[in-house]
Amino acid sequence: MSAFVWGEDSPSGAVSSTTQDPLTGNAIRLLRYAGIEVSSRIGFERVGTDSVGTFLNYTTTIVNSTNATLSVRYGGISVDGHVASPLWVLPAGKKLSKKELKSNLDAVELGKMHCLTSGFLSGDNLFSADSSSQVLTVVPRTALTVSSVVRDPRRYHSVLCSVDGCYPTGKIRYYLTVDTKDYVFVWAGRTAIHCGT
């Protein structure tokens, strides 16, 4: 297995680039290799008005221009070297009481995540705690978008606010495995898009 890291191109590896979302102007990072294009967007939102913490989320689109079916697996995510696990995403309509939510910090209600309800993240394919080992497929000449949400694993100073707004501090690194290759995206926290309310 080998890894392609955005921004660390080599003659025999993937090619990195950045484009702009035509609707929002937000940055989208791309890695291209042998007919496969993997693009990345990263965002964040507060856990809630009565809770402390930040949800970090990414959405990734895999475009398969090859003649073979590709497999896509959850890889991992870390923030400043602190590993974070995907959250349990409860489907729309299923609710937990405040007591249940406070006792289970790894659960989030799909309908309460503004990054999902606003359309910043795709809710079609979510890697969550109950499906992180799931294998998705991308048939030839199609695309697949997958998203994941984690709680920032750091306890202190994870968000910095200034006159320009608030954003996560540090470096966010995540990857997906497409067939036998890891596609790794590294984002500075200040480049994450605030997709919450």
pLDDT for 55 beyond 80? yes
Instruction: Select from 150, 172, 134, 44 the least CA-distant residue to 87.
Output: 150
Instruction: Select from 89, 75, 108 the least CA-distant residue to 186.
Output: 75
What does pLDDT average to over the chain? 88
Q: pLDDT: is 91 or 3 the higher one? A: 3
pLDDT for 92 beyond 80? no
Instruction: Give mean pLDDT, residues 123-130.
Output: 86
| pLDDT at 146 (0 to 100) | 95
| pLDDT at 100 (0 to 100) | 64
List the structure tokens of 126: 């979510």
pLDDT for 155 beyond 70? yes
What Å distances lie between residue 38 and 33, 110, 116, 119, 132, CA to CA? 9, 25, 20, 19, 19
Q: 10 φ, ψ to 5°?
A: -140, 160
Residue 176: CB partners within 8 Å, gap ≥ 6?
A: 38, 60, 62, 72, 73, 74, 75, 146, 182, 183
Instruction: Give mean pLDDT, residues 28-47.
Output: 95
pLDDT for 48 beyond 80? no
pLDDT for 87 beyond 70? yes
Q: How confident is the model at residue 164 (pLDDT cuts 50, 70, 90)?
A: confident
Q: pLDDT: is 101 or 135 the higher one? A: 135
State pTM to two decimals.
0.90
